[in-house]
């Protein structure tokens, strides 16, 4: 009976100072994750709301863990309440999901008052994120872009276009072809990785120098900030 009362009875009531300390700690540590995420962001669509979600989510999870304590009945009640809420916002980049999960894990650690785990985990994970960002595994993305141009359907300039791409690109891949100008032209879309970022203007100039190539443009992968 005593064991059941321990599991289903009232959980230990935390002091006001410990509650404030846990919430403040979750805010600070999740802000560290948000800062590292912002500094190492490389995708095409930066979301200010996502960064705020990381910080607020960590604090909310911290509050839930403190409210549950070691009370099983209270935990089941909160679990049932959260099951009613449906989160339908898609997270397209696995890296974004990992940062959000890390922030929530920090909130759990702070809510459980295991501050050492929260601090050491935050430091190690962010150091790893920075190391991966500055490592050669990430540098090749700086030169990636989407190249588009038009050619007549009866053009024989494909080999010359391939020559230009081989001169300026470390790698390129044809991802799409579609009709344009009522079927008289074909629009080509290439995913390219330039040998050097200085080739951005050069590859466009060389394509425009070809007789049958028109409207060549290159969209480099850059960080864009949500307005």
CATH code assigned to 140-220: 3.30.70.260
- Residue 38 CA to residue 211 CA, distance in Å, equals 44
Beta bridge partners of 187: 150, 178
* pLDDT, tens digit (0-9, with 9 covering 90-100), for 95-116: 888 998 999 899 889 988 889 9
Q: Phi and psi for 42 in degrees, rounded to 5?
A: -135, 0
pTM > 0.85: yes or no = no
116-140 pLDDT, tens per residue? 999 999 999 999 999 888 876 655 4
Structure-block tokens of residue 216: 């060549």
Lowest mean pLDDT among 10-14, 142-146, 198-202, 215-219: 10-14
Calpha distance 74→7 (Å, rounded) = 10
CA atoms within 13 A on the CB side of 95: 17
Query: How far is residue 22 CA from its own chain's centroid?
Result: 27
Identify any residues that bridge with 225 across adjacent strands, giving them in sequence order: 46
- Every domain of the chain with CATH number 3.30.70.260 lies at 140-220
């Amino acid at each position: 009976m005593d064991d059941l009362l321990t599991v289903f009875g009232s959980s230990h009531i935390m002091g006001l100072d410990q509650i404030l300390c846990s919430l403040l700690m979750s805010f600070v540590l999740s802000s560290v994750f948000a800062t590292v995420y912002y500094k190492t962001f490389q995708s095409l669509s930066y979301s200010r709301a996502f960064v705020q979600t990381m910080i607020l989510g960590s604090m909310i999870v911290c509050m839930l863990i403190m409210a549950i304590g070691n009370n099983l009945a209270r935990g089941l009640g909160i679990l049932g309440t959260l099951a009613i809420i449906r989160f339908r916002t898609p997270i397209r980049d696995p890296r974004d999901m990992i940062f959000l999960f890390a922030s929530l894990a920090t909130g759990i650690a702070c809510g459980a008052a295991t501050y050492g785990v929260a601090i050491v985990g935050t430091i190690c994970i962010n150091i790893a994120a920075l190391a991966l960002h500055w490592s050669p595994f990430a540098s090749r993305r700086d030169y990636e872009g989407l190249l588009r141009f038009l050619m007549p359907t009866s053009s024989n300039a494909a080999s010359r276009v391939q020559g230009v791409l081989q001169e300026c690109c470390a790698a390129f891949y044809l991802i799409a072809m579609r009709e344009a100008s009522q079927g008289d032209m074909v629009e080509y879309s290439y995913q390219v990785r330039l040998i050097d970022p200085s080739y951005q203007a050069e590859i466009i100039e060389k394509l425009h120098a070809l007789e049958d190539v028109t409207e060549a443009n290159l969209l480099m992968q850059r960080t864009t900030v949500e307005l």
